[in-house]
Chains A and B, each alone.
Chain A
Amino acid sequence: MFNETVISEINEIRGKYPDRRSALLPSLYIAQREFGWLSHEAMTCVAKTLNLPEADVRGTASFYSMFKNAPVGRHVIQICTNVSCMILGAEKLVDIVGAKYGVTSGGTSEDGRFSLVIMECIGACGTAPAMLVDTDFYENLTETNILEILDKYK
């Protein structure tokens, strides 16, 4: 179960909405932060804290691509390959990162350092190609600077 601090954090969020289910998405984010991904246990904790059916919690979580249904690496690389990024070479960047760190789209490198996610648009089309590493934005990527950036994430 969540510790007291997390439970009070969730209770505070509940206060912002007229019903408890509306606190579900924020609570799933908290569970993901605490457990690293949304394991069965993590979702059970959310269901118990919000007093919601577990099926509702799991059904909702599975709809959203930012909730992880499997463990992820220490850092998550999210490269946009939608049209604006694609026409400026994003797919090549995916190949370069994949080859360098031995990671495929949707997978995690063997050493657990990186997970790679192919993203839909991340709203950085004017500075394409772009990626998010964890919560850090990187824009105007090139075949060389992308590896220099990733090197900083150990």
Chain B
Amino acid sequence: MENFLLRNIDNPKSADISEYEKAGGYKNMEKALSMDADNILGEVKTAGLRGRGGAGFPTGMKWTFAKADPKFPKYLMCNADEGEPGTFKDRPILEKNPHLLIEGMVISGYVLGAEYGHIYLRGEYPEAKDILNAAIKQAYDKKYLGDNIMGKGFKFELSVHQGAGAYICGEETALIESIEGKKGQPRNKPPFPVNVGAWGMPTIVNNVETLSNLPYIMEIGGEAYAKIGSAECPGPKLFSVSGFVQNPGVYELPMGTTLRDIIFKHAGGMRDGKKLKAVIPGGISTPVLPETGIDCAMDFVAMPKAGSMLGSGAVIVMDESVCMVKVTYRALKFFEHESCGKCVPCREGTDWLRKILGRIEGGDGRQGDVELLSDVAAMIAGKTFCPLGDGAAGVVAGMIKYFKSEFDEHINDGKCKFSA
């Protein structure tokens, strides 16, 4: 498959508007602005586009809800708060192909009747901020943003809003709270953001990669797009591959490529001839899979059946030198730190899990600790305000499911055999 999302990123000037236009950029926006918005929405539905942030919600359906709400103005928020550990797929778009995102946002804004867009960018991407701001300025100068875009009578204003280091702001209602200048704590739903979002108005929050697919759908049409990759959730997908592989990096592959192919065919297989031990397939909020579990198709439908989730498509590959207790402990340190504190099961539960895991890894584990971990995880799962708690619980449950013997060994031996 030819790259679309990562098209031209090897060109050192790919972030410049003239290079982007030379490669056919903004042609799809021009085409879209000459079409009826409802027809484009029809194409998005035919394409079967699903949100690339992790939840995999059908984009066309989300947009239909937002369009049906009679309130104006509507706001389009691009979720560029890429914070899921292991994930770095949006970074090449933000830093090397920013005009693709801008073009996608104008098309989306046009479909939705949204005249205002904000890119909520994580604070840890200072380079992307400068690149995006420069790209937005170029787009304004070319009249691709602002009033009466390309003389087609559509107005779209776009700016960058910088986050400040809170993972939870990747959750859409927390993102909205944050952009409103508040602590990034998730809101109760319903009402959903498509009806009552930022500043009380209908708000559509879409991931960078999702919005960047819009020009492609315009280019090839919904029907052709729906033929790429998995039938139930088609399209190209960016996979971030890290850890002990020969060639870590971001790969654009058809949705549904197997985990085995991603690791061994595309990322060059294991580094230094080591043996694969485990894979976290979709960012650290997704349950781990053992070496025997990697023949699954990486998409939103197949991965839950395989016992994990596609998440953000962040594949973390581990060899036999990696201690799974230590990985779980580190993951829980993260969840505890990033828990927003709003609901008890997550705030207290992640703290408990982290403490128990810390003592097991440190050689002070007690008999019954593994059962206690499972117990606490079960008390969190399904009982929290937002998916952060579910993620933490799922990680612990997944690790115990496949690597319980390693936890037992730590407790029985009173030490971690991996730490020299």
Structural contact, A29 and B162, CB atoms closer than 8 A: yes
- In the complex, whether B210 has a CB less than 8 A from a CB of chain A is no
Structural contact, B124 and A87, CB atoms closer than 8 A: no
Q: What are 6 A-B contacts defined by CB distance under 8 Å? A: A63-B184, A66-B123, A84-B86, A120-B83, A121-B85, A121-B87
Q: What's the nearest-Cβ distance from chain A to residue B53, in Å?
A: 14
Structural contact, B181 and A60, CB atoms closer than 8 A: yes
Structural contact, A83 and B181, CB atoms closer than 8 A: no
Alpha-carbon distance A86/B107, docked complex (angstroms): 40
Structural contact, A122 and B124, CB atoms closer than 8 A: yes
- In the complex, whether B78 has a CB less than 8 A from a CB of chain A is no
Interface size on B, residues (CB 8 A): 53
Structural contact, A128 and B83, CB atoms closer than 8 A: no
Q: Which of A19, A78, A82, A124 has the most CB of B within 10 A?
A: A82
Alpha-carbon distance A8/B88, docked complex (angstroms): 35
- In the complex, whether A88 has a CB less than 8 A from a CB of chain B is yes
Q: Which residues of A contact B299 (CB under 8 A)?
A: none
- In the complex, whether B105 has a CB less than 8 A from a CB of chain A is no
Q: Which residues of A contact B127 (CB under 8 A)?
A: 135, 137
Q: Which residues of A contact B157 (CB under 8 A)?
A: 16
Structural contact, B83 and A121, CB atoms closer than 8 A: yes
- In the complex, whether A79 has a CB less than 8 A from a CB of chain B is no
Q: Chain A: residues with CB nearer than 8 A to chain B?
A: 16-19, 21-26, 28-29, 52, 59-60, 63-67, 78, 81-84, 86-88, 119-128, 132, 135, 137
- In the complex, whether B147 has a CB less than 8 A from a CB of chain A is no
Structural contact, A125 and B164, CB atoms closer than 8 A: no
Structural contact, A64 and B165, CB atoms closer than 8 A: yes
- In the complex, whether B403 has a CB less than 8 A from a CB of chain A is no
**Known interface pairs A25-B161, A120-B338, A132-B124. Does A126 touch B280 (Cβ–Cβ under 8 Å)?**
no
Q: Which residues of B contact A18 (CB under 8 A)?
A: 199
Alpha-carbon distance A84/B242, docked complex (angstroms): 6
Structural contact, B244 and A87, CB atoms closer than 8 A: yes
Q: Which residues of A contact B83 (CB under 8 A)?
A: 120-121, 123
Q: Which residues of B contact A22 (CB under 8 A)?
A: 179-181, 199
- In the complex, whether B282 has a CB less than 8 A from a CB of chain A is no
Q: Which of the 9-residue segments B56-64, B329-337, B353-361 touches chain A?
A: B329-337
